[in-house]
Amino acid sequence: MKSMNFVWVAGALALATPSLAEDFAWRGRLTAGQTLEVRGINGGITADATGGEAEVTAIKKARTSDPASVEIKTIEHSGGVTICAVYPTRGGGRANDCESGGNIRNNDVQVEFTVKVPAGVKLKVHTVNGGVRVGEVESDVDAASVNGSINVAATGLVKAETVNGSIEASMGRADWTGQLDFETVNGSITLDLPADLSADVDAETVNGRIDVDFPLTGNVRKTKRELRGTIGGGGRSLDLETVNGSITLRKH
């Protein structure tokens, strides 16, 4: 069965010619401080910087299920825009919103998102079964998966977590408030941080090692699998935790 393709342009819905290459496209103007949020369930998310408008495209593909059974919703609001893949409910109906997401049981549709992020627009990208790659965006990034690795490079702050996969993140700023967490279970954590970092670090692994480029002060506890200490003047918390993998903090 061929799926029907829809194109979102400046908030308007239009029917497009069926395509094997691109099933969904949205673009719109977002201002600095607003958030571009993309939520997937089955499939990865790739994002890069753009000098123009924000853009989100998606490809739906499946071996046995009908790609049209998965709807891609666009919710525009004062804080920005949320775009998500919505699967059928257990009863076969359509889930109502991005929060529920629907049920992927007996549905093998994968949705691969590609995102273009303008400077200053916050990016939030979450999926369940798939990796996340964010390349050199000029903004803050919140990235999450369950079964997939995360690779993020940003001029702003980065938050990342997964369960089965590694985390590699490069942050251009380190002036967060409170606590910043990086967590996985099966995978390594590698962070590139500004040389002027000030944070109280708590890092722990079970099967792996911990390496840190920064000098540590204060009440330092450092073993092969556990690290506690202060970098710079401290004052904010940086928590890193994995079970099966190493932890590396590098300065840039």
* One domain, residues 11 and 125: yes
Domain boundary among 102, 135, 170: 170
Cβ atoms of 36 and 54 closer than 8 Å: yes
* One domain, residues 194 and 164: no
Domain that includes residue 242, residue range: 174-252
* One domain, residues 139 and 212: no
Task: For the full predicted model, state whether its pTM sits above 0.85.
Answer: yes
Domain count, the chain: 2
* One domain, residues 126 and 25: yes
* One domain, residues 213 and 110: no
| Measured distance CA(36)–CA(52) in Å, rounded | 14
* One domain, residues 2 and 105: yes
* One domain, residues 74 and 156: yes
* One domain, residues 145 and 185: no
Domain boundary among 135, 170, 205: 170
Q: Could you read off the pLDDT tens digit of each residue along the chain, which spans 252 residues? A: 344 444 444 444 444 433 333 489 999 999 999 999 999 999 999 999 999 999 999 999 988 888 888 999 999 999 999 999 999 877 666 666 677 667 777 888 999 999 999 999 999 999 999 999 999 999 999 999 999 999 999 999 999 999 999 999 999 999 999 999 999 999 999 999 999 999 999 999 999 999 999 999 988 888 889 999 999 999 999 999 999 999 999 998
* One domain, residues 191 and 227: yes
* One domain, residues 120 and 181: no
* One domain, residues 16 and 117: yes
* One domain, residues 193 and 166: no
